[in-house]
Structure 1
Amino acid sequence: MAGLLGGLIIALWFLIFDAANGHPLQTPGLLAAALLHGSRTPVALTGTAWTLVGEYTLVHFAVFAILGAIGALLIDEAERHPELFGTLLIFTIAFEVFFIALIMLAGPAAAAAMPWWKIIAGNLMATVGMLAFFLWRQPVLAQNMMGEWTGVVREGVVSGIIGGVIVAVWFLIYDVAIGHPFRTPALLGSIVFNAMHRPETVVVNTAVVLGYTVLHFFAFIMFGIASSILMVASEREPVLALGELVLFVWFELCFVAFVTFLDVTAVEEIGWWNIIGGNIVALAAIIAYFEHGHPRIVGRIIDRWEGLRDEAATQRSEAR
């Protein structure tokens, strides 16, 4: 079941990606033609291409069913021998590399339709979905795998969702105010999925908005988990919580740099103040959530900072 779930997640991801590009089911058609029939040229969705889609779908789910079975066996064995959990990570990385190599061998048409980040993002989502299924069926597995880190990851996921929702609502309010609901995710999605370079021509459609929303929340959940790890570290050394601000600045710069790299006019279209404002509100909400779970973390940071300052002053006095 876990393998079939992972296969379904990737299939839906590719469907959203293809629909956003205006070519539904292009990916399975290309992969079937390249991997199963040795074709190196693009295919059109004719009656023959629909047959290719069906062929690839069967192979796709069969492969993921096998992967799910192997994953279940590894997890079952690792429960008795915890040192084998590293094998799961190696297995996941090996699958990513293997799939990317397949696309490279499939020819330029398949490689153009499936950029590396699309493959990695889809497989990561599938891996998370499969792991969530295993943890749901075997709750003790989380404790065996991560121990006390289980709560850290859970807290990170929740904080990431909170931040993602706030930024999404912020942009929605802005778009509604200017009379173009969902324009921002449609614009960003068009840049990511379609390499669109003319913001004034953006068209809001469900596939593009949904595709970008998936990436948006995935990025915020990763940010939330990293933030949660910093909060755990700050329980021992409160000053480390300042790393939250460094992480936020890094996250913000990566987003702006990525969008600017694809299309600098998009940042101007959305507005610097809009991007920074939404993310600052999201950061404040995330910090408030962590403050609830880690009482007085802000106060302890201030106390620790004053303590370090007093220690430095004392050392200077003694040096004189």
Structure 2
Amino acid sequence: MIGGLLAGLVVALWFLVADTVAGHPFRTPALLAGVLLNREFTEVTFRLIAVYTVLHFGVFAVLGVGMAWVSAAFTAPPRLLLALGFGVLLQEATFYVGLLLLHAPHLGVIAWPHVVGANIAAGLVLMGYLHYAEHDPRPMRFTALRDHPVLARGAINGLIGAAVVAVWFFVLDLVTGNPFRTPAALGSALLLGASGPGEVVATFGLVAVYTVVHVAAFVVAGVVFVALAEQVERVPAMALLVLLTAILLEGLFLATIGVGAQWVLGTVGWLPVAVANALAVVAMGWQVWRTHPTLQRRLLEHPQLRV
């Protein structure tokens, strides 16, 4: 709980400094309190800030307890990876999902770079505290990820896939003269339940939230991809199963969009989506192939398994 409170303090101090520099002290908690209470406050009062601050630290205390439990579940927890997960995924999701549930007028009520920066800083502080509190003798740096090679390689693999898809659609959107149209459409459908192009909310806040979801999904896929590849290293006959699984997941992804938000495919296009996913699979597959010489040797020794 102490770690969560420290993380909450970091976020509070971040926005206090940002608001003060901008000439509007306590503007952020006042705005968020207004969203929470569904009212627009014309002036910042001590009571308003106090009420929101109690809620703020309460949420962070709960998140801190949860992350302490997750950290304790590992024999050698990858704390830097968990810090990024806490800051970029858990806190981002909690913040923006909260705004959605409270029917905030727009997700960009707080500038997203500040949200991301504050959350990453909070995640690092929380994991730093847990590292100290648990008397972990290992250094808290990225070399600690060597204890979890599948997670580390999988995260990198997923980030590569996410970047390939993001760049592909960014270029397509620029060419058509509608920057960020694709993430805005997908984010509106996924997060806001938009039922048509007219309901697309093209804001940085929504794009930021969708980007977090996008990256998180690819990181999970990357970890699964690497884990399967390492199984193929041990049992080459699983290569065909891995290929069939990839094809099935691709079909499931397209079918899900087609059934749940068909208008998105009409807006973005079936072909660009299929090409984006194919490029991601190729990029992630090449990364796995490049970093797994044993896999190369096993498959080359069994030419009948090559696809």
Q: Do the structures match in fold with TM over 0.5?
A: yes
Matched, 1:245 2:240: no
Displacement of 1:134 in angstroms is 6.7
SS of corresponding position for 2:194: coil
Q: How does 1:235-314 map to 2 (within 5 A)?
A: 235-295=233-293, 297-298=295-296, 300-301=298-299, 303-304=301-302, 306=304
Q: TM-score, normalised by structure 2?
A: 0.62
Equivalent position to 2:180, from 179, 182, 193:
182
CA distance in 1, matches of 2:10, 2:246: 29
Helix, strand or coil at the partner of 2:202? coil
- Over 3 Å counting, the alpha-carbon distance change for 1:171 and 1:233 in structure 2 is same
Residue 196 of structure 1 corresponds to which residue in structure 2?
Answer: 194
**Separation in 2, partners of 1:284, 1:9:** 40
| Partner Cα separation in structure 1 for residue 254 and residue 31 of structure 2 | 30
TM-score if structure 1 supplies the norm length?
0.60
SS of the counterpart of 2:55?
helix
Question: 2:41 matched to which residue of 1?
Answer: 46
Q: Is the 8 A contact 1:152 1:225 kept in 2?
A: yes
Establish whether residue 64 from structure 1 lines up as the match of residue 46 from structure 2.
Answer: no
Residue pair 1:27, 1:113 contacting (<8 A) in 2 also:
no
Change (3 A) 1:253 1:307: closer
Among candidates 156, 167, 184, match of residue 158 of structure 1: 156
In the superposition, relative to structure 1, how do residues 133 and 293 fare at CA in structure 2: closer, same or farther (>3 Å)? Answer: farther
Shift of 1:53: 6.9
SS in 2 for 1:140: coil
On the 8 A contact 2:233/2:298 being kept in 1, the answer is no
Query: Structure 1 208/235 Cα, relative in aligned 2: closer, same or farther at 3 Å?
Result: same
- After TM superposition, give the deviation of residue 58 of structure 1 in Å: 2.9
DSSP 3-state at the match of 1:161 = helix
Q: Output the aligned Cα RMSD.
A: 4.8
Judge conservation of contact 1:195–1:262 (CA < 8 Å) in 2. no
Output the CA distance in 2 between the equivalents of 1:159 and 1:204. Answer: 29
Contact 1:189–1:212 at 8 Å: present in 2 too?
Answer: yes
Deviation of the 1:194 alpha carbon:
2.4
The amino acid of 1:59's aligned partner reads L
| Residues 60-115 of structure 1 deviation map (CA, whole Å, 9 limit, x = unaligned) | 32452465368659957x78xx5xxxxxxxxxxxxx9xxx9xx9xxxxx996759x
Counterparts of 2:168 and 2:196, CA distance in 1: 23
Residue 156 (structure 1) shift: 0.3
Q: Does 1:3 align with 2:4?
A: yes
Q: Which residue of 2 aligns with 1:227?
A: 225
Q: Which runs of 5+ in 2 are unaligned?
A: 15-28, 76-89, 105-118
Superposed CA deviations along residues 130-167 of structure 1, whole A, max 9, x for unmatched, are 7865787757399xxx9986011000000000000000
Question: 2:184 touches 2:202 (CA, 8 Å); kept in 1?
Answer: yes
User: Residue 191 and residue 67 in structure 1: after superposition, are their counterparts in 2 closer, same or farther (change >3 A)?
Assistant: closer
Which segment drifts farther, 201-210 or 43-52? 43-52
Shift of residue 56 of structure 1? 3.3
Instruction: Return the alpha-carbon distance in structure 2 between the equivalents of residues 7 and 65 of structure 1.
Output: 8
Deviation string 1:256-304 (CA, Å, 9 cap, x unpaired) is 3443344211112211111111111111111111111111625633543
Where does residue 172 of structure 1 map in the other structure?
A: 170
* CA spacing shift, 1:254–1:45, aligned 2, 3 Å: farther
Deviation, structure 1 residue 174: 1.1
Count of aligned pairs: 251
Question: Mapping of 1:139-154 within 5 angstroms?
Answer: 140=138, 150-154=148-152
Structure 2 Cα separation of the partners of residues 270 and 198 of structure 1: 12
Bigger Rg, structure 1 or 2: 1
Distance in 1 of aligned mates of 2:297 and 2:268 = 36
1:110–1:231 distance in 2 versus 1, CA, 3 Å: closer
1:30 and 1:160 map into 2 onto residues whose CA distance is 34
- Equivalent-residue separation in structure 2 for 1:266 and 1:63 (angstroms): 34
What is the alpha-carbon distance in structure 2 between the residues aligned to residue 25 and residue 243 of structure 1? Answer: 54
Aligned counterparts of 1:261 and 1:212: Cα–Cα separation in 2: 20
